[in-house]
Amino acid sequence: MRHRLKGRHLNRTSSHRLALFRNLSRALITHGSIQTTVPKAKELRPFVERLITLAKKAALVDDGTPSGKIQSLHYRRQAMALLGPMHGTGVYTKENKLAEENNTVLKKLFNEIGPRFKDRPGGYTRVMKLHYRRLGDAGETAVIEMLKEGEVKVQRRSGTPAAPAALISQ
């Protein structure tokens, strides 16, 4: 029984799952959106949002003072621990060419993405299901992407309002 155990196993060991989320999150930070299966996208969302929250906190506390810089460094080191030993992986373009010589995933996360979501209270990513299945195993596919600056998530329309209760005559 799996009582009180959160998360999907994705048919992998825990170390393999962690490596999967690290690789997918690096790709998402680099490209802004990636296509994967629906369960992977749904499990990736909290992992990536935790990283973006660390970058956002670093952007909020770094005010130039020594204590702000120390706290910002602490958040950066926490993100490095989550991203693993390949945190310095370069940022590549769609043509698999290095975008800039000194640009890394961690720098992009803390210099671009963190300040972009500085005023947002959460919900930095969106998962959209695609209508076609993956070739081979017919797995459901989805696109997970980061929201643009100032973009608001589209909320589901609330159902039709309930009919007023009938008045009971006394």
Q: What are the tens digits of pLDDT across the range 119-141?
A: 999 999 999 999 989 899 999 99
Token output for 67: 């204590």
SS3 158: coil
pLDDT band at 50 (very low <50, low <70, confident <90, very high): very high
Instruction: Provide mean pLDDT across the span 151-157.
Output: 74
Q: Residue 166: pLDDT above 70? A: no
CA 114/CA 140 separation, integer angstroms? 31
* pLDDT, averaged across the chain: 89
> Above 80 in pLDDT, residue 75?
yes
- 77, 84, 72: which is closest to 25 by C-alpha? 84
Report the pLDDT averaged over residues 48-60: 97
